[in-house]
Amino acid sequence: MPDFILTPITALGHATPEVDIIGPWTITERADVALASLAVRRGRLGDLQAAAAGAGVPLPAAGAAAQGMPYSSFWMTPEMWMVEAPFASHEDIRAHLLPAFGDAASITEQTDAWVRFDLAGADLPRLFERLCNFDLAKAPAGAATRTVMEHLGCYLIKRTDSLVTVYGPRSSAQSLHHALVVAAQSVL
Amino acid sequence: MIIHHPILGPRDAQEFVYLGDASLIGRPDGLTASIEDFHNYTYLRDNPAGAHRELWYHEQGDRSWLVVTRNTLTHEILQVELARDVARAEGRSK
């Protein structure tokens, strides 16, 4: 049998994540985060909350995100969250979560379904008002929402005034990246 | 037009997809209902000039189904509920 040597590539197709610095903004591709969706099974919200508290998985309210170590999460839809963890330690994130939640939750690995970009810099609302209809300037830190950018359903998380995370469909990673770069260049 | 999402607050109606009359929730029982019941359910709709209960889907948001009560004359939105809550209150989706 031949020896295959497989090299992992990022969502944008390179060996290492791409970083673009455009004016005051830095657009960083993040390949170091593992993702899993966590959905309550019918009538098991109490069990899920207890398990989450025990495992250190935050369950933020609607429209919000919460950061923790190792687990962070953001709200997706009623009774459903996306859990984030460092890829290096939690590559198999579902196996990490499953013992804690048992049959109270449906847990689905999502790591390779998404591309993540972190946008850092001052005055980010000026950039995002070109990209989506979410009012980033008015939203508090820790706000998370699903919105549409470049015809793609994306999750947008406002970590702080100067740091925003965008999750978009990985199969459209280059399209989303192109939209972010073009928007940044056009409002310079 | 702004739809006041029960969880997420005011959202632009462009984020939503319209399905139709909220009476679609009340599908007859496939084992016991008559053919007339199914015919009525499938084809017959009221077309009121005034308050109308209809199903909207938050496609560009949290992907929840809503029951929106809208005045078809003025487009005023009178009430917005989660379709899940409406269906359960009607004894469906057990």
- Min distance A4 CA to chain B CA atoms (Å): 42
Its pTM stands at: 0.91
Provide the b/e sequence for A84-107 (b: ≥16 CB within 10 Å).
bbeeeebeebbebbeebbeebbeb
Q: Which residues of B touch A (CB under 8 A)?
A: 7-9, 12, 14-15, 60-64, 82, 84
- Per-residue pLDDT band at B83 (split at 50, 70, 90): very high
Give Cα separations from B62 to A61, A127, A129, A165, B81 (angstroms): 13, 23, 20, 17, 14
Decide if A76 touches B, using CB distance below 8 A: yes
Q: Measured between CB atoms, which of B14, B15, B64 is closest to A77?
A: B64
pLDDT tens digits, A3-59? 888 888 999 999 999 999 999 999 999 999 999 999 999 999 999 999 999 999 999
Among 3.90.950.10, 3.40.50.300, 3.30.70.1520, 3.40.50.620, what is the CATH number of A34-109? 3.30.70.1520
Q: Which CATH class is domain A19-31+113-186?
A: alpha beta
Domain boundaries, chain A: 19-31+113-186, 34-109
The reply to whether CATH 3.30.2270.10 applies to domain B2-89 is yes
pLDDT tens digits, A51-100? 999 999 999 999 999 999 999 999 999 999 999 999 999 999 999 999 99
